[in-house]
Amino acid sequence: MNSFFARRYVITGIFIILCLTLLVRLFYMQIIDDKYLLASNSNVIRKVIMYPARGPILDRNNKILVQNEPVYDIIVTPRKVKEFDTLEFCKMIGIDKEGFDKRFAKAVKYSPYRSSIFEKQLPARLWASLSERIYEFPGFDVQPRTIRTYPDSTAAQFLGYVGEVTDRDIEKSNGYYRPGDYIGRTGVEKAYEDLLRGQRGVLNQMVDSRNVPKGKFANGAYDTVAVAGERLQSSLDIRLQKLGEKLMKNKVGSIVAIEPSTGEILAFVSSPTYDPNLMVGRERGNNVAKLYDDPYNPLFIRPIQAYYPPGSSFKPLSALIALQQGILTPQTTYFCAGGYWAGNHMVKCTHHHGTTDLTLGIAGSCNVYFCSVFDKLINEHGGKQTEATFTDWKARVNQFGFGVKLGVDLPHEGRGNVPTALHYDNIHGKNHWRASTIISLAIGQGELEATPLQLANIECTIANHGYYYTPHLIRAIGDKNIVKKEFTSKHDVGIDPQYFEPVIEGMHQVVQVGTARGSMIPGIDMCGKTGTAQNPHGKNHSLFVAFAPRINPKIAIAVVVENSGDGGTWAAPIASFIVEKYLRDSITTRPSGITPEYYANANLLPPLPGQKPAVKPKVGADSTKQQKGDTTNKPAVQVKAASRKNKKDTLLRTLAAAQIKRKDDEQ
């Protein structure tokens, strides 16, 4: 009897264990492991991802810079794939058998039960021929989406480009992105990714055994609608952008133009550039590889990443700091005999300017004058206080946006460089350096480095008599024209407005009678400053900064042309064409005879190792060579010391006769 009951309990226990095992297995299959659910659902429900159109980007006058065009991705669910004519399928979508096997293995690795992208961005013509026969290839389907297209093929570095997401992108997005999605990689596309990308939608379709749609699942109760990305209106003026890229063709450098009253960037030229349409489509990978291999680095965003010594363009800023400190007045004079002795070495000047005041010091770009001012600034509290005084000077320079990031709405902005006292302590030893040691800073050389954006922003500050707005490229977001608050706040640089006029007068004289006289625009009072950025690797860089008109300025600009010499020869004429185009929408005949065509056709690309230098176009009637009756290209005339009574008239006449191509910085 006991044995019978014992067997009964054993048998009951076995049945209980079996039932529990089945229940646990069912729980695992239905709740924990979703592959069976996916497999069953995929037999009757097909989730179609509805990719939103990425937001368009317009210029300041609502001209389209980038928009979208439809393409089609081939997607595959490996579990559903059955035998079919593989070679015919490969032929239809333009791949080989090896490519097919590679793509299919990748899809299986991702998930046998989930759909993934097999081939990307088929154009509409390919999809048209494939759509009628897609049922012949079980497991494969087509998913519509859009890609970027650039009607004018311009502003590549400003707009940036999109690329396929990486595993890191997916991880950082907390699952928002999926393999095969696209994300902004550079430029505005990256800076405004959250606004441009929109929101994906999902369409749940019922399908039969042949994968033919049979209507919406649950009458669309679980569908979500795709939301298009926001429209962005940029501050860019496409007229200026096109002209700038034309003028900078076959040159290395950049152009940045800003509206001083708002901080809106009008032109953002980085040269050499590339056609942004190369960064989309099925050949994108090959195109990117070629751009990376280009020795002139067109992917480098020069307006915010390239560093240049500001050269003589720094002198107005140096004067403003000295005026604010009380070290200098507009009437302060220094005598220039052709050079300044700083300790045991001489800083040469371009002329024997004689007795020179502030305005003539700027107009004549007198190195002696500004070395004298800098020496007095740094020695204001005595030689023993050099480090503290220099640190204060550096802080004032930083206030202008030198050596700090300005906060432009683009990724990877450089900060330039204003050296610290510690930098000189490490080189010369603590308390073992003086103003004469670092005298090159007085004329924008030495360790000073700035981006073209910073150089243009300085001109905004001078044009505004003491303040600037954060430079930015997007002026409105969406239909409501939202403007970011950080772009509407003034940044005061700590200089009283009264000190700007004598500096501006000097910059006006630079264009009227000085080193940029050949770039003077009839009827427009442009104030500017030429500069020469020293280049240890070859010919110096041509640099010019300016704003116009003098009263109520509308545009500030910085132009850098690498390996081309002094600022008056190349950078100044290019800047003047941009300025006039913006103010008049036309370019008039200049007294100097210069024309945009000459500068657009010139090839100034620095030679590569083992390559002969590019042949420059012959100088003709439209060049900077001397014209009949034009004295702007006569040899530079040395200015002898004049009496105080006729000093100004003598120097102005001398400057008017000076050669346009004269270098205005020290060697």
Helices marked H in 28-154 — which ranges?
35-44, 86-93, 97-110, 124-131
Q: Which domain holds residue 122?
A: 45-234
Q: Is the backbone of residue 615 left (phi > 0), alpha (psi -120 to 50) or beta?
A: beta
pLDDT at position 508: 97
B/e letters for 273-288, b = 16+ CB within 10 Å, e = fewer, are bbebbbbbbeebeebb
Question: 0.85 exceeded by the pTM?
Answer: no
State the Cα–Cα distance between residues 570 and 599, nearest whole angstrom: 8
| Number of domains the chain is built from | 2
**Per-residue pLDDT for 661 more than 60?**
no
**Of the listed ranges 25-34, 214-223, 323-332, 655-664, the one predicted with least confidence:** 655-664
What's residue 72's pLDDT? 86
At residue 47, does pLDDT exceed 80?
A: no
- pLDDT of 19 reads 84
Buried b (16+ CB within 10 A) or exposed e, 393-430: bbebbebbbbbeebebbbbebbbbbbbebeebeeeeee
Same domain, 247 and 212: no
Edge to edge, the sheet with strand 213-216 lists 45-50, 201-207, 213-216
The pLDDT score that the predictor gives to residue 212 is 59
Among candidate residues 274, 267, 281, 265, the one with its CA nearest the CA of residue 299: 274
Looking up tokens 């890609």 gives 147
Residue range 10-15: average pLDDT?
Answer: 79
Question: Which CATH number goes with the domain that contains 224?
Answer: 3.90.1310.10
Nearest to 409 by CA among 315, 501, 474, 482: 474
What does DSSP say about strands 57-58 and 232-234: parallel, antiparallel, or unpaired? parallel
Q: Return the structure tokens found at 56.
A: 């368009």
Q: Is the peptide bond before 549 cis (omega within 30 degrees of 0)?
A: yes
- 6 occurs within a structural domain: no
Q: How far is CA 651 from CA 315, 366, 480, 532, 654, in A?
A: 19, 12, 55, 22, 5
**Per-residue CA distances from 444 to 242, 448, 496 (Å):** 31, 6, 22
Tokens of 493: 């640089």
Q: What is the C-alpha separation between 531 and 312, in angstroms, rounded?
A: 5
In a domain, 16, yes or no: no
Shared domain check, 262 and 119: no
Cα separations (Å) of 303 from 71, 258, 268, 500, 548?
33, 12, 7, 26, 20
The phi and psi torsions of 76 (rounded to 5 degrees) equal: -140, 140
Mark whether 243 and 222 lie in a shared domain: no
Q: In this predicted structure, what is the pLDDT of residue 43?
A: 58
Q: Please tell me the distance from the alpha carbon of residue 27 to that of residue 18, in angstroms, as a whole number.
A: 14
Query: Which of 92, 204, 103, 98 minimizes the C-alpha distance to 137?
Result: 92
How many residues are recorded in the chain?
667
Q: What average pLDDT does the segment 81-108 reach?
A: 89
Distance CA 240, CA 228 (A): 30
Chain centre to alpha carbon of residue 299: 10
Q: How far is CA 427 from CA 118, 403, 422, in A?
A: 59, 20, 9
- pLDDT tens string 194-216: 999 988 888 777 766 555 566 67
Q: Is residue 24 part of a domain?
A: no
Question: Is residue 384 domain-shared with residue 468, that is, in the same domain?
Answer: yes
Q: Three-state secondary structure along 125-186?
A: HHHHHHHCCHHHCCCEEEEEEEEEECCCCCCHHHHCCEEECCHHHHHHCCCCCCCCCEEECC
In this structure, the strands spanning 354-356 and 264-271 are unpaired
Q: What is the pLDDT of residue 254?
A: 97
Write the DSSP symbol of residue 79: G
* Nearest partner of 121 among 279, 302, 312, 358, judged by Cα: 279
Residue 506, pLDDT score: 96
Could you tell me if residue 39 is inside a domain?
Answer: no
- pLDDT reading at 261 higher than 90: yes
In this structure, the answer to whether residues 210 and 285 fall within a common structural domain is no
Q: Is residue 498 part of a domain?
A: yes
| Pair 414, 520 in one domain | yes
Domain limit, last residue, from 209, 234, 259:
234
| Residues 540-559 pLDDT 10s | 899 999 999 999 999 999 99
The per-residue pLDDT for 146 is: 86
Phi, psi (deg, nearest 5) at residue 123 = -70, 165
pLDDT of residue 613: 58
How much is the average pLDDT of 430-443?
A: 93
Q: Which of 234, 256, 277 is the last residue of a domain?
A: 234
| 319 and 201 co-located in one domain | no
> In this structure, are residues 510 and 539 in contact, taking their beta carbons and an 8 Å threshold?
no
Interval 104-151: pLDDT, tens: 999 998 888 788 888 888 887 777 778 778 888 888 888 888 889 999
Residues 157 and 191 sit within 8 Å (Cβ to Cβ): no
Q: Where is pLDDT greater, at 641 or 121?
A: 121
In a domain, 497, yes or no: yes
Q: Give tens-digit pLDDT for 311-334.
A: 999 999 999 999 999 999 999 999
Is residue 665 included in any domain, yes or no?
no
CATH code at 346?
3.40.710.10
What pLDDT was estimated at residue 608?
78
Hunting for tokens 């081309």 — which residue is that?
564
Residues 275, 364 share a domain: yes
Question: Do 222 and 272 reside in the same domain of the chain?
Answer: no
Lowest mean pLDDT segment, chosen from 10-24, 170-184, 357-371, 464-478: 10-24
**343: pLDDT confidence band, cut at 50, 70 and 90?**
confident
pLDDT attached to residue 625 = 34
Tens of pLDDT, residue by residue over 66-87, are 999 888 888 898 888 888 888 8
Same domain, 160 and 286: no
**Structural domain includes residue 442:** yes
Q: Which two tokens stand for residue 321?
A: 């700091």
**Confidence grade of residue 612 (pLDDT, cut at 50, 70, 90):** low
Say how far apart CA 513 and CA 654 lie, in whole Å. Answer: 9
Which residues lie closer than 8 Å to 589 by C-beta, 6 or more apart?
none
144-180: buried (b, 16+ CB within 10 Å) or exposed (e) per residue? ebbbbebeeebbbbbbbbbbbbeeebbeeeeeebebb
Verify that 270 and 147 share a domain, yes or no. Answer: no
Q: Assess contact for 269 and 255: CB atoms under 8 A.
A: yes
DSSP for 274-308, please give it: --GGGGSSTTHHHHHHHHHH-TT-TTS-HHHH--B
Averaged pLDDT, 268-279: 96
pLDDT given for residue 174 in this prediction:
85
Is the CA virtual torsion 125, 128, 134, 140 positive or negative? positive
Q: Which of 535, 532, 581 is nearest to 555 (CA)?
A: 581
DSSP readout, 453-518?
HHHHHHHHHHHTTSEEEPPBSEEEETTTTB--GGGS-EEE-S--GGGHHHHHHHHHHHHHTSTTGG
Residue type, 487: F
Look at residues 199, 234, 269 and tell me which one is the last residue of a structural domain.
234
Written as six digits, the tokens of 10 are: 């054993």
Residue 83: what pLDDT? 85
The Cα–Cα gap between 127 and 104 comes to: 20
Q: Are residues 273 and 194 in the same domain?
A: no
